[in-house]
Amino acid sequence: MAELLEAGMVIAFGISWPLNIAKSLRARTAKGKSLPFLFFIWIGYIFGIASKILSGNITYVFFFYILNFIMVSIDVVLYFRNRRLDKLPETGKE
């Protein structure tokens, strides 16, 4: 039962990342994003992955930790891309 609840938590968190990535792609700005927040989430997934490995409890939930870690990493990359776009001079684009 505990593993099922853990899977539910990780999946629920994971549902938000594709939406967040899509928003980052569309917005093309880093305004409103928090890099420290993204890094704390990223580190949290590293701890979750390490916990699974160290405890030897690698089940299907482990896949969701990895997937979420990858999605947060993509959002971090988009943050830096968008920050670079924010620094470009305005070219009259809307």
The confidence score (pLDDT) of residue 2 equals 85
Mean local confidence (pLDDT), 66-89: 95
SS3 64: helix
Do residues 20 and 74 lie in contact, with contact meaning Cβ atoms separated by under 8 Å? no
HSE of 35, CA atoms in CB hemisphere, 13 A = 10
Nearby residues of 73 by Cβ (< 8 Å), 6 or more positions away: 42
The mean predicted confidence, pLDDT, of the chain is: 92
- In this prediction the pTM is 0.86
Q: How confident is the model over 14-27, as a mean pLDDT?
A: 93
pLDDT in tens, 43-69: 999 999 999 999 999 999 999 999 999
